[in-house]
Amino acid sequence: MDIMKQRLLILVAAAACAALWSAVAFAGDQCLTCHEALDDAQSKLFKSDIHFRKGLSCADCHGGNRKSEDMEAAMSKKAGFIGVPKGDERSKLCADCHSQAQTMRKFDSDLPTDQWEDLQASVHGKLSTSGREHIVQCTTCHNAHGIVSVKSPASPVYPLNVVKICSNCHSNAALMRSYNPSLPIDQLDKYRASVHGIRNAKGDAKTAECASCHGSHDILPVSDVRSKVYATRLPETCAECHADPAYIRGYGIPSDQYQKFSKSVHGIALLQKGDLGAPSCNDCHGNHGAVPPGVESISKVCGICHALNASLFASSPHKVAFDRKKLPECETCHGHHDIAAATDDLVGVSSTSACAWCHKPDTPNRGRAVAITMRALTDSLNAFERKSQSLIEEAEQKGMEVGEAKFKLRSVRQARLESRTMVHSFNEEKFREVMSKGITTANVVSNEANAAIEEYYFRRKGMGISTFIMTILGISLYLTIRRIERRQSERK
């Protein structure tokens, strides 16, 4: 309690010193004196402005002579008075100080000095519909005369307020249609219904808001590879919070999702292979309306991509069983963030199979028998495929033409792939039908490859006999010619 009192006293003393400094700095400032006498909104707002606290005056932005009591002299062009800046001049005035590291250090500011540069290169840095200024100026988000630190709850860009600032434009259908008709205007409604939005509305400034994901001054289109929400960069953006154990502590969620995802079949496809068709965080959790899929909806989310698998499962006997036990469908067997590539080991009743998790040896049932059969059929097809492939390779090495057999082998591979989808039906008859086609085709391929190999040996045997006969004939001819030559030489 004593520590709290000490901190409070320090804050009060700091505020008093700041007020005293401002009063001294603005003594004799005729701009502020005059506008306070007018009781206008600008002077009231400026008294709470961070620039007022730092000792900057009206004239530092608007120009003019703040010490002159003569209004015409104080607001003359000769005194440098520019009046109310228009268009980009507003942001350029801000950049005169905020882009100068030396100037910012003079005011004990640790703010970055590249905001104006970032803003110009951002999506908001494009020309407005008038074609004479950027879409967004510094004052659009930070205000003009009542600017406070972004760490202050009174700031428009404080985490609890920034959503409102962004929605001022992004929820305006007429305005957004002027720039990009394809952009949705319901992001705020979705956000308010999300986990992040609900917590934000309750006063949790740590939860993600617009700037957390899109950035602030450097916002880029989603289609830009440099954007924080570009498909391949989004997991890293989410991980800024969700992979930080200290930051995420107290929310009751793990901090290893990104680590697991990056090693999963989805993560490898997206992050290592650059496959933009692979799912990222938002594909399963949503964008602005991000929520964890519920037990009932997980299969629907997975089914967006894996439509046939989801359809087969929905009509399978497991659907009823999973619903009864309130098990998430796809996630139960495949996991969620750490989904590994599906292999044949998932099927069957071995220690590595998913089936064995429920179908125990001590409780024999139809499901366990089907799992054993499906694994046996899978192993059989794999064995036949390997045998067919081996025979084709042997025939090719011997120079035999087996192009047609190789083409048929593709049907065997296709059957194997179809079986990995059909397994989700958990219907032995349907599964056997797919596997039988593959096994039958594999047998045909093996027979054709064997025939080619036998023909090779037949040709070799025939060639050997032919060569032997030709050799005998050659020797006989040679001996005959030699006899004839001897007889001729004896007659002479």
What is the band of 460 on the pLDDT scale with cuts at 50, 70, 90? Answer: confident
> Quick one: tokens of 160?
């609890």
pLDDT (0 to 100) of residue 407? 94
Residue with the bigger pLDDT between 301 and 12: it is 301
With respect to CATH, is domain 366-460 assigned 1.20.140?
yes
Radius of gyration of the chain from Cα atoms? Answer: 39
86-100 average pLDDT score = 93
The 10s digit of each residue's pLDDT in 12-25 is 444 444 444 444 44
Candidate from 44-53, 321-330, 360-369, 405-414 with smallest mean pLDDT:
360-369
Candidate from 42-51, 94-103, 362-371, 389-398 with smallest mean pLDDT:
362-371
What is the band of 7 on the pLDDT scale with cuts at 50, 70, 90? Answer: very low
pLDDT (0 to 100) of residue 423? 94
The 10s digit of each residue's pLDDT in 123-155 is 999 999 888 899 999 999 999 999 999 999 999
Place of tokens 């002159």: 68
372, 349 Cβ separation under 8 angstroms: yes
pLDDT (0 to 100) of residue 2? 52
How far is residue 84's CA from residue 56's CA, in Å, rounded to a whole number?
A: 17
pLDDT at 289 over 60: yes
Mean pLDDT, rounded, of the chain: 89
Domain extents in the chain = 366-460
pLDDT (0 to 100) of residue 10? 46
83, 68 Cβ separation under 8 angstroms: no
321-325 average pLDDT score = 89
The amino acid at 55: G
Place of tokens 């999300």: 194
How far is residue 377's CA from residue 179's CA, in Å, rounded to a whole number?
A: 58
> Quick one: tokens of 194?
């999300």
The 10s digit of each residue's pLDDT in 35-91 is 888 888 888 899 889 999 888 889 999 999 988 888 888 898 888 899 899 999 999
pLDDT at 187 over 50: yes
pLDDT (0 to 100) of residue 444? 94
> Quick one: tokens of 4?
């709290």
How far is residue 109's CA from residue 51's CA, in Å, rounded to a whole number?
A: 11
How far is residue 255's CA from residue 242's CA, in Å, rounded to a whole number?
A: 5
How far is residue 152's CA from residue 241's CA, in Å, rounded to a whole number?
A: 21
pLDDT at 11 over 70: no
